[in-house]
Amino acid sequence: MSAVLELDRLSLSFGGLRALSDLDLQVGEREVVSVIGPNGAGKTTVFNVITGVYEPSAGDVRFSAQSGSAESIAGRPPHAIARLGVARTFQTLRLFMNMSVLENVMTATYGGTKAMPWESVLRLPRARREEREARALAEDALSFFGQRLAGYRWDQPAYSLSYANRRRLEIARALATKPKLLLLDEPAAGMNPAETHEVTELIGRLADERGVAILVIEHDMHVVSGCSDRVVALDHGVKIAEGSFDAVSNHPAVVEAYMGRHPEDLAGAE
């Protein structure tokens, strides 16, 4: 399987603080990879480096927009990376709150369209066609969530949505950039058990129906076990385990990172 995303000995330091050290990670086509780890492990930082918010101090990020044509995207501006096909959602929701639901999604088609302002004003053919396509793409992305983001909500401002629906809208907005790789930052945070279950199904459907590779940060182990092809565990910016959910969840280093060392071991170490 060819890798869509490849992190090669990726490191990031803020002054003396090493947020990420020599991180290797691959995400294959249509693969769902979960990133777990305790708070402050550097999970969101990985996303920020991949999407160009931070520039890595060392190492490389390679992304292949078409299979077999990997190119380095480290240090490119965020919008350029997004145009290549890397879309993300945010842990703290970052919607365009005062724009309508439909507009939120249509905004993400900016990179895929080319009409200049005067073309939009004069309603020239290219602008009209792109606008039609953008709307169709947005409606398609929203329809992925069935009744949850159904038609009557399209013209409401995003701030009127419930928390769960805001999370869904962020995913719809990310889909409208036509991504090859989708980075989901805690998609189930703040959701009730039923909605959490829905998120698990949703991640599987995204990979199957939309053909995107998914890298997901999640704290809810039901979601992680339900959706992941592979799990990567981080602690203090270092990869401590990788493999199937069962293998990683029973890995001693992971147990230690979450629970601390067993008292008897500590006593033995003295």
Partner 1 sequence: MSVDPQGPKVGADEWVARQAHRREYLPSWLGDAQRRAERIGWWPRLAIAGLAGLALPLLGLGGFQLQVGIDALVIALLAVGLNIVVGWAGLLDLGYVAFFGFGAYGYALLSSSQLGANGIHLPYWLSLPIVMIGAALLGLAVGLPSRRLLGDYLAIVTLFLGEAFVEFTNNVAPSKLGGPNGITGIDPIQAFGVQLLTNTSYFYLLVIVLVVTMAVLRLLEYSRTGRAWRAVREDPLAAAAMTIPVNRVKLSAFACAAMVAALAGTIFAAQQASVFPTDFDTPILILIYAGLILGGTGSIAGAATGALVVMVIYDGLLRSPAEASLLFYGLGLLTLLVKLRPWRRLAAVLGATIALGFAAHAIAAAISSSAVATGPQSSGWLGDGLRDWVIVPANPQTAGNVGFVVLVCLAITLVQVKGRWRTILLVPTIYLAAFVWETRLVVEPSITRQLMIGAILIVMMIARPQGLLGQRRVEVAT
Q: What is the smallest separation between the CB atom of 82 and partner 1, expressed in angstroms? A: 4
Q: What's the rounded Cα separation, in Å, for the pair 81 and 229? A: 25
**Interface with partner 1, residue 103, by CB under 8 A:** yes
Q: What Å distances lie between residue 191 and 141, 167, 256, CA to CA?
A: 21, 9, 27
173 binds partner 1 (CB under 8 A): yes
Q: Which spans in the chain are helix H? A: 43-50, 78-84, 101-107, 117-122, 125-143, 163-175, 193-210, 221-227, 245-249, 252-259, 263-269
Q: List, in sequence order, every residue forming a beta bridge with 157; answer none if it has no partner.
A: 100
Q: Does 138 bind partner 1 (CB under 8 A)?
A: no
Q: How far is CA 139 from CA 73, 131, 164, 199, 207, in A?
A: 30, 12, 19, 20, 19
Beta carbon of residue 161, minimum distance to partner 1 (angstroms, whole number): 5
* Beta carbons of 142 and 173 less than 8 angstroms apart: no
| Contact pattern from residue 30 through residue 69 relative to partner 1, giving x for each residue in contact according to CB under 8 A and a dash for the rest | ---------------------xxx----------------
Which listed residue (112, 139, 219, 225) binds partner 1 by CB under 8 A?
112
By CB under 8 A, is residue 98 in contact with partner 1? yes
Which of 146, 193, 211, 260 touches partner 1 by CB under 8 A? 146
Q: Given candidates 9, 123, 132, 261, which one binds partner 1 under the rule CB under 8 A? A: 123
Contacts of 253 by beta carbon, 8 Å cutoff, 6+ apart: 233, 235, 240, 241
Q: Per-residue DSSP letters for 129-181?
A: HHHHHHHHHHHHHHHTTGGGG-GGGTTSBGGGS-HHHHHHHHHHHHHTT--SE
Note whether 79 binds partner 1 by CB under 8 A: yes
Shortest Cβ distance from residue 211 to partner 1 (Å)? 18
By the 8 A CB rule, do 171 and 184 touch? yes
Closer CB to partner 1, residue 110 or residue 139? 110
Q: Does 120 bind partner 1 (CB under 8 A)?
A: yes
83 touching partner 1, by CB under 8 A? yes
Choosing from 169, 202, 207, 223, the residue that interacts with partner 1 (CB under 8 A) is: 202
Does position 186 interact with partner 1 (CB under 8 A)? The reply is: no
Residues that bind partner 1 (CB under 8 A): 51-53, 77-80, 82-83, 87-88, 90, 92, 94-99, 103, 106-113, 115-117, 120-121, 123, 127, 130-131, 134, 145-148, 150, 152, 156-157, 159-162, 165, 173-174, 176-177, 198, 201-202, 205
